[in-house]
Amino acid sequence: MNRFAKEKKSHSLARQLLTGAAVFAGSAALLLYGTREISHTADTEQARSLQTALTRSAVQCYATEGSYPESLDYLCEHYGITWDTKKYVVDYEILGSNLMPTITVIPLT
């Protein structure tokens, strides 16, 4: 046998196409999974950012005015807080004018 001669491969065209399709499908599935994870992480960070902004604004109100905001509307109107009401629900419970309110951000999706 000649060691420099190339061996003929017995792969059929159908097998090569199936292998290529399987690799493509696997890559697409990994890409889709990664995209969903990134989207979920971004949504979580947005909710955390909204929670932080609301808390900081309430503390700023207390430092400036001497009492915590009496309502979430007051906080939004005077301290410029806005959010997408289709994505998040904010629960704002007042405990007293000199006690920090309980602020909870609930994602809808």
| pLDDT tens per residue, range 44-73 | 899 999 999 999 999 999 999 999 999 999
pTM greater than the 0.85 cutoff: no
| pLDDT tens per residue, range 9-24 | 656 878 888 888 999 9
Q: Residue 91: name the closest of 64, 60, 51 by CA.
A: 51
In 55-96, the DSSP E strands lie at 88-93
